[in-house]
Amino acid sequence: MSELPSFTKIVAGLSDSIPFVGPEAIERRMGKAFELRLGANESAFGVSPHAVTAMQTAIRQLHWYNDPENHDLRTSLAAHHHISAREVTIGAGIDDLLGLAVRAYVEPGQAVVASLGAYPTFVYHAEGFGCRLISPLYLHDGGNDLMALADATRAADVRLLYLANPDNPSGTWYSADEIDRLLQILPDRCVFILDEAYVEFVPPEAVPKIDTSDPRLIRMRTFSKAHGLAGARIGYAIANPHSISAFERIRLHFGVNRVAQAGALAALGDSEFVAQVVGQVEEGRREYHQMGVEQGLPTLPSATNFVTFDAGIKDNADRLLKGLTSRSVFIRKPSKPPLDRCIRVTVGTPDERALFAERLVDAWREVKG
């Protein structure tokens, strides 16, 4: 063996950087566990008891493969959204579906548009499939710059626009009307990926009506947030049957865990649990906001299960992240300007929030010197 078999040109050109370093990896590096895990926007309010029961039953049948058609869940989602099952596809989380969307629509060398600092896994897939990335800046107030995004899609060879509404990492959101208008002005050749991972937490006026008539629109949703099934890896896309057919041609047909299928189905049916989670999260957001006011760390408006605190300048935010990490608190910090002056904190339980408040006050005092 003299020669290494070569990777494809695209894969050979990729860096070894990954979308997220998990908290477990940071813990292994530190040699101890975080006392507060508030960095991954996981639900602090657990899993619906109905979903737990369904998953415990599913475990007993785990020697059987999952239904590759995800029939029961697709059918229930279709009923839930008043659409046809041909307008839904299931994936191992939105992360999985984003990769499929890039692969289905964008040739290597063609371009995709997303705000600079938007969800890193989208960028990971775009680069992984050899696409060019066009990245308008976020507005200073933390909103996506919808006009800049729309303008960017008019460049040659742009095939996809990615937007999260509400947004991650800022927590900000736009109304259904504004989202609809953005879709209207996109070029015909450009597909609009609307990531609605946090949709359960937004006011109703921020949720565009479900309408699958426009084949340019693909909406993605997940059971990872309000439903508390982040570790189950299950999400779905809603789109025109033509668009769904592309996913069906390339997706991993046996890719969704049987326990996740059962859990998601039960969680979907437990709207009472979801409503309760949303209520608790709202309370937590108000508490974070109040704390921000008191501490001179203003919060960005949020319609998610996290809150972004504005530390004014990047250096302060960097030091705040460091101070919280050293106080055994896992949070994240946007890496790109203008949001790199902020930190992003998941809404915890009342106990977690009380402990977080202590640590934050302490760390922020240190930063301010």
Cα separation, 363 vs 84, in Å, equals 51
Question: What minimum distance in Å lies between the beta carbon of 335 and its own copies?
Answer: 17
Q: Are 284 and 348 in contact (CB under 8 A)?
A: yes
Q: Could you tell me the maximum CA-CA distance found in the chain, to the nearest angstrom?
A: 66
Using CB under 8 A as the binding rule, whether residue 30 contacts its own copies is answered as: no
Shortest CB 274 distance to its own copies, Å = 13
At residue 116, what are phi and psi to the nearest 5 degrees?
A: -65, 120
For the bound state, the minimum distance from the C-beta of residue 167 to its own copies, rounded and expressed in Å, comes to 19
Instruction: Identify which of 102, 182, 100, 101 has the alpha carbon closest to the alpha carbon of residue 136.
Output: 182
Q: Which stretch binds its own copies (CB under 8 A): 138-146, 172-180, 229-237, 279-287?
A: 229-237
The Cβ of residue 70 has, within 10 Å, a number of other Cβ atoms equal to: 25
Size of the site for its own copies (CB under 8 A): 89
20 lies in the site for its own copies, by CB under 8 A: yes
Compute the least distance from the CB of residue 233 to its own copies, in Å.
5
Q: Which of residues 259-278 bind its own copies (CB under 8 A)?
A: 259-260, 263
Distance CA 288, CA 181 (A): 32
Residues 277-316 vs its own copies: string with x where CB under 8 A? ----------------------------------------
> Under the criterion CB under 8 A, does residue 32 sit at the interface with its own copies?
no
Binding residues for its own copies restricted to 126-185, rule: CB under 8 A: 128, 159
Under rule CB under 8 A, which residues in 40-59 are in contact with its own copies? 40, 42-47, 52, 55-56, 58-59
**Nearest distance in Å: CB 140, its own copies:** 31
Which residues, 6+ apart, have CB-to-CB distance to 210 below 8 Å? Answer: 81, 82, 83, 219, 238
> Kind and range of the H or E element at 359?
helix 350-368
